[in-house]
Amino acid sequence: MIRLPDRKGRFGIYGGKFAPETLMAPIEQLENAYFSIGRSRQFRKEFSYYLKQYVGRPTPLYFASNLSEIISCKVYLKREDLAFTGAHKINNTVGQVLLAKKMGKTRVIAETGAGQHGVATATAAALFKMKCEIYMGEVDMQRQALNVYRMKLLGAKVTCVKSGSRTLKDAINEAMRDWISSFKDTHYVIGTVVGFHPFPVMVRDFQSVIGKEAKKQILKAEGRLPDFLIACVGGGSNSMGLFFPFFRNKNVKFIGVEAAGKGIDTDFHAATLCRGTPGILHGNFSYVLQDKEGQIHPTHSVSAGLDYPGIGPEHSYYKDTGRAEYYAATDQQVLKAFHILSEAEGIIPALESSHALAYMIENKNRFKQDDIVIVCLSGRGDKDVNEVARIEGIPL
Ligand SMILES: *Cc1c(COP(=O)(O)O)cnc(C)c1O
């Protein structure tokens, strides 16, 4: 079997490098650095050191006995919510900023929507003594004022983007513009498995620690591999991080859960694989939420982290080949799941992660008594408590 992606960064027909000429130089420099330095034994050793000492890995694989009773199967939670800063994003930013340092860069930039990736990047930048600038849409800065201050506390400069819809996709454009003129000393940290090659494969590799640990942990706990892996899908990094190390284990079924928002038959969702069509967005060929003219659809989800009209190319490949199944959970189902886990296990999940739980809760007849299911709890829900209270009309 061939190893994917191929040398052009293709996963089947998906992926690749669709970038303007002015970006080819930094992209090729990064590609060379990743495949030489980033895959070296020395780098992997250092990366593991920081994952252990700084991020606090391995994260537990927790047998959720109360939730197991509710679903009537064996449910294990991969506790990425217990990683430092409260979500899986830090695995990737520590990897990329460490690589940037090895490449001799002195500055990192990133875009952020809700602020989660911005905070994770600013954290890693502080750790490795790098200058840091985060691009963020004006609308998002107003909605996420606390995360803006958090990034500033961590020493980052936050630049307000006032073009277009003043949200995530405009912040991405602005960060790319910066990188074109600054790449000699600057690395651009993309937060998920999207963008031009080598980002999808690099981010997948950095996040694969999730699945590698889970595999060891489940073999120790149960003496066999799981029947199902379930994870929420925004750009696709926590899910790919969990799935990829099980790719060759054909009996392990992969389930990705997207944001159905107000319903996948409305205009208010972010279910790219369930409802999109192949096209080009932010440097790669993959499923995209677009109209017939290729204009990108606006998206909606109760969880900011899933609110993106694209998807990593490797997921598109998994979808077309049937290696993974993709579904979507509505805001309403997600809020229900958020409450169920909080009450059943004393664990408040991120609204993003609640999508994975919602699929399981809504489809519990699919799971048999001795099925083993691993759910990726991609982040903790403390950040979402205010928003849930607001939606439910509870004054704080
Ligand atoms: C950003 C985020 C996600 C979605 O991103 P993926 O790349 O699809 O993993 C999911 N969960 C949490 C907690 C996040 O912060």
Residue type, 344: A
State the pLDDT at residue 230: 99
The string of pLDDT tens digits covering residues 59-88 is: 999 999 999 999 999 999 999 999 999 999
Distance between CA atoms of residues 218 and 86, nearest Å = 22
Give per-residue burial for 155-191: e unless 16+ CB within 10 Å, then b. ebebbebeeeebbbbbbbbbbbebbeebbeebbbbbb
Angle ∠(390,395,396) on CA atoms, nearest 5 = 95
Q: Are 197 and 284 in contact (CB under 8 A)?
A: yes
Look up the pTM and report it: 0.97
In the three-class reduction of DSSP (H, G, I as helix; E, B as strand; rest coil), residue 383 is classed as helix
State the pLDDT at residue 396: 87
Q: Are 286 and 20 in contact (CB under 8 A)?
A: no
* Burial category of 89 from C-beta neighbours within 10 Å (exposed 0-12, middle 13-18, buried 19 and up): buried
- The closest residue, in CA terms, to atom 4 on ligand 1 is 234
* Residue of 89, 287, 387 best suited for mutating to test ligand 1, as the one with most atoms within 8 Å of CB: 89
> Taking Cα atoms as reference points, which of 357, 254, 257 lies closest to residue 306?
257
Q: How far is the CA of 55 from the centre of ligand 1 (A)?
A: 17
Q: What is the length of the chain?
A: 396
State the pLDDT at residue 178: 96
* Residue of 77, 192, 230 best suited for mutating to test ligand 1, as the one with most atoms within 8 Å of CB: 192
Provide the pairing of β-strand 186-188 with 107-112.
Answer: parallel
State the pLDDT at residue 3: 79
Distance between CA atoms of residues 102 and 198, nearest Å = 17
**Phi and psi at residue 141, in whole multiples of 5°?**
-65, -35
Which residues of the chain, if any, have pLDDT below 50? none
Tokens of 145: 């004022």
Ligand 1: list residues with CB < 6 Å.
87, 89, 116, 192, 232-238, 305-306, 350, 352-353, 378-379
| Peptide bond before residue 313 is cis, with ω within 30 degrees of 0 | no
Distance between CA atoms of residues 378 and 69, nearest Å = 22
The residues annotated as belonging to the active site are 89, 111, 378
The string of pLDDT tens digits covering residues 189-224 is: 999 999 999 999 999 999 999 999 999 999 999 999
- The closest residue, in CA terms, to atom 13 on ligand 1 is 379
State the pLDDT at residue 345: 98
In the three-class reduction of DSSP (H, G, I as helix; E, B as strand; rest coil), residue 119 is classed as helix
* Residue of 140, 144, 306, 308 best suited for mutating to test ligand 1, as the one with most atoms within 8 Å of CB: 306
Q: How far is the CA of 139 from the centre of ligand 1 (A)?
A: 20
**Phi and psi at residue 193, in whole multiples of 5°?**
-80, 45
Residue 87's alpha-carbon distances to 110, 156, 163, 221, 383, in angstroms, are 17, 19, 29, 24, 11
The string of pLDDT tens digits covering residues 242-271 is: 999 999 999 999 999 999 999 999 999 999
Q: Where do the H-state alpha helices sit in 3-137?
A: 21-33, 41-53, 65-71, 89-102, 116-127
Q: Are 160 and 138 in contact (CB under 8 A)?
A: yes
Q: What is the DSSP letter of 128?
A: T
Q: How far is the CA of 306 from the centre of ligand 1 (A)?
A: 6
State the pLDDT at residue 35: 97
